[in-house]
Amino acid sequence: MISLYERALALDPQSTEAQSRLAGALVCRVLDLMTGSAAADLARADGLVGQALAASPRSAYAHLVKGSVLRAQNRWTEAIPEYEAALASNRNWVSALAGLGWCKLLDGSIEEVIPLAEQAIRLSPRGPDIGWRFSAIGTVHLLQSRTDAAIVWLEQARNAIPASSIFRSRLASAYALSGAIERAAAELAESQRLNGGDLFSSISHLKASRSWGIPKTRALFEATYFAGLRKAGMPEE
């Protein structure tokens, strides 16, 4: 996909559509931890979407991408109005609802996340990204120590996208917190296998992989997600 957008941009370097689409593809692989050049991808995405918005300030898609760039830069408060600008043009835009939800979570407005995810599920109950909506709800329940509810939603997330190492790691944590240590260890092992790298090799690696929100949100992750992973057998270092 990126190569096709690169070709489109080469044919028309002033195309705001090509700029926005390429920026969107680059930032998506950064957010999905699917690139070995995250800093370069993010810098390029930021530059491209900045050009697109300068030329077309009302572009809803460009605002959506800008929100994702800011989210990847851990600037969640600034990302929120960008997602809201995209939603102003289409209140049923599932991608914007999802991005807004994750920013609300990391910015500390955790009580606003589940309604946004539920709206996205209603709008696109069979979409390819449905697992992420289930995961958002499950993560909120996990962070708020509603472990049984977290398991229900995180199992749905895993079943929807079985290859997601992130979903399995959160389910491993929930299982461990509920006392199902063997199931937790099995999910953790599968998350490590699927990732194929160091991400889930230790608590320190996982913590360093991304920012976990404002202090309030980080404290919730520490008390639940990371605590559960320790119980599941993830070493500290």
The 3-class secondary structure across 109-142, one letter per residue, is CHHHHHHHHHHHHHHCCCCCCHHHHHHHHHHHHH
Single out the residue of 88, 136, 131 nearest to residue 116, CA to CA.
136
Would you identify the CATH topology of the domain 91-237? 1.25.40
Helix (H) or strand (E) run with residue 210 in it: none
**pLDDT, tens digit (0-9, with 9 covering 90-100), for 51-106:** 999 999 999 999 999 999 999 999 999 999 999 999 999 999 999 999 999 999 99
Can you give the pLDDT of all 237 residues of the chain as single tens digits? 899 999 999 999 999 999 999 999 999 999 877 788 999 999 999 999 999 999 999 999 999 999 999 999 999 999 999 999 999 999 999 999 999 999 999 999 999 999 999 999 999 999 999 999 999 999 999 999 999 999 999 999 999 999 999 999 999 999 999 999 999 999 999 999 999 889 999 999 999 988 999 999 999 999 999 999 999 999 999
Q: Do domains 1-90 and 91-237 have the same CATH topology?
A: yes
Residue 151: predicted pLDDT: 98
- The domain ranges of the chain are 1-90, 91-237
Query: CATH assignment of 1-90?
Result: 1.25.40.10
Q: How many CB atoms lie within 10 A of CB 193?
A: 11
The answer to whether 46 touches 35, Cβ cutoff 8 Å, is: no
